[in-house]
């Protein structure tokens, strides 16, 4: 009877299946030309809506608490700009022949990039973590990365380049302004947003699915599947997976040893382990001009997909555990975190 009632589909996380489906859809039907432009506009709009809703949902006091949480931000910055580069350099030193020089340069590129903002905040929200701190830390990481990434590239990749004022404007317009607009709109719509938490969850998940589809469409359009054989592809995937696993382990156990709360540990894990494809691709084009940029950014594109799928599974698991631990408590009460 037990065997008859066993349903293997029940073991498949629907959200992970949706992400894999977006990768498959982008491989078969990638966006081109005007479709790619429209896809980027739709994705940008979804991300802006996500931050607007978070701004309307979070009280100003919670946002200020997140901004003042300097210990958490310091740990995330160290993971992003110190731990990652050290692991990348160690991997290249220990196994220099595992990947070609261009692909190892791509791995180092991953390690010196800032954190993502939209997926870090979305996954922290899904996992019932400290959303205000995640928002502040991931945004600051992107702003700091505009200066830090070119400097680290010059040191580790012999690349030249400077920070881009356009990148600062993009961050402000796409992320900070919608959040501030949501904060200002909170007296009018804050109650409605609080009563429709499922809407924020839908935007969280939907924005990530759009990011996956548009990003992978761009990679397919640039012929990433024709630039290396299966052996090299497997090696890149293995290096990316090990790199992510090590950072997740260090941020998880390290933040626990440092005495952070559950909500803070979630924010540290998701912000400290992410790398921004949106920042990485344009930065690579500028910093690595004249080199094999298409092949160098391939590890980043694959890492981006791995981090989304792994962190989606982790976020769902954290959310289930939180709901099981306190089913009667409104999940929104845990978003502010401790400290």
Q: Which two tokens stand for residue 104?
A: 């190892």
Of 90, 64, 87, 50, the closest CA to residue 193 belongs to: 50
Q: How far apart are CA 135 and CA 118, in angstroms?
A: 8
Of 211, 238, 139, the closest CA to residue 180 belongs to: 139
C-beta separation of 297 from 109 below 8 A: yes
C-beta separation of 339 from 69 below 8 A: yes
Q: What is the DSSP letter of 113?
A: S
Q: What is the CATH number of domain 34-322?
A: 1.20.1530.20
Residues 6+ apart with CB under 8 A from 11: none
C-beta separation of 303 from 87 below 8 A: no
Q: How far apart are CA 228 and CA 220, in angstroms?
A: 13
- Give the N- to C-terminal CA distance of the chain in Å, as an integer: 51
Q: How far apart are CA 175 and CA 170, in angstroms?
A: 8
Q: How far apart are CA 227 and CA 293, in angstroms?
A: 11
* pLDDT on residue 335: 42
Alpha helices of 29-100 — where are they, by DSSP H? Answer: 33-57, 60-68, 70-78, 84-94
Q: How far apart are CA 168 and CA 178, in angstroms?
A: 15
Residues constituting the chain: 339
* pLDDT on residue 327: 52
Q: How far apart are CA 111 and CA 84, in angstroms?
A: 5
C-beta separation of 117 from 142 below 8 A: yes
Q: Which two tokens stand for residue 171?
A: 């961050």
CB-count burial class (<10 Å; 0-12, 13-18, 19+) for 198: exposed
C-beta separation of 56 from 182 below 8 A: yes
φ/ψ (deg, to 5) at 295: -75, -35
Q: Which two tokens stand for residue 307?
A: 């981090």
Q: What is the DSSP letter of 81?
A: I
Q: Output the pTM of the full model.
A: 0.69
Q: How far apart are CA 40 and CA 210, in angstroms?
A: 9
Per domain, the residue ranges of the chain are 34-322
* pLDDT on residue 240: 96
Of 184, 117, 106, 173, the closest CA to residue 145 belongs to: 117
Q: How far apart are CA 19 and CA 213, in angstroms?
A: 8
Q: Which two tokens stand for residue 94?
A: 């220990």
* pLDDT on residue 11: 44
Q: What is the DSSP letter of 98?
A: T
pLDDT means over runs of 10, the chain (339 residues)? 46 68 84 83 81 76 68 92 96 93 90 86 89 84 76 74 54 75 87 80 77 75 72 93 96 94 93 81 62 70 86 89 64 42
* pLDDT on residue 122: 85
Residues 6+ apart with CB under 8 A from 173: none
Name the region of 330 (left: φ>0; alpha: ψ -120 to 50; beta: rest).
beta
């Amino acid at each position: 009877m037990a065997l008859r009632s066993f349903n293997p589909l029940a073991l498949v996380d629907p959200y992970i299946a949706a992400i894999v489906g977006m990768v498959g859809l982008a491989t078969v039907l990638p966006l081109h030309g005007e479709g790619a432009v429209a896809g980027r506009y739709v994705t940008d709009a979804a991300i802006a809506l996500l931050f607007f809703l978070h701004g309307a949902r979070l009280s100003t006091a919670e946002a200020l608490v997140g901004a003042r949480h300097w210990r958490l931000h310091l740990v995330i910055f160290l993971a992003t700009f110190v731990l990652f580069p050290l692991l990348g350099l160690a991997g290249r030193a220990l196994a220099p022949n595992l990947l070609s020089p261009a692909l190892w340069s791509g791995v180092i590129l991953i390690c010196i990039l800032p954190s993502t903002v939209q997926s870090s905040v979305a996954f922290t929200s899904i996992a019932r973590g400290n959303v205000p701190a995640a928002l502040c830390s991931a945004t600051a990481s992107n702003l700091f990365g505009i200066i830090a990434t070119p400097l680290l590239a010059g040191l580790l990749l012999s690349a030249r380049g400077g920070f881009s004022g356009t990148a600062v404007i993009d961050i402000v317009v796409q992320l900070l302004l919608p959040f501030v607009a949501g904060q200002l709109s909170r007296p009018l719509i804050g109650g409605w947003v609080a009563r429709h938490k499922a809407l924020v969850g839908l935007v969280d998940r939907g924005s990530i699915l759009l990011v996956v589809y548009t990003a992978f469409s761009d990679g397919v359009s640039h012929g990433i599947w024709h630039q290396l054989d299966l052996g090299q592809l497997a090696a890149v995937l293995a290096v990316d997976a090990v790199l992510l696993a090590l950072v997740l382990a260090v941020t998880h156990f390290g933040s626990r040893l440092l005495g952070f709360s559950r909500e803070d540990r979630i924010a540290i894990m998701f912000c400290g382990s992410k790398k921004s494809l949106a920042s990485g691709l344009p930065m690579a084009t500028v910093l690595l001009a004249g080199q094999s940029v298409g092949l160098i950014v391939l590890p980043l594109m694959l890492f981006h997909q791995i981090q989304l799928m792994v962190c989606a599974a982790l976020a769902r698991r954290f959310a289930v555990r939180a709901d099981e631990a306190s089913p009667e408590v409104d999940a929104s009460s845990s978003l502010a975190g401790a400290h």
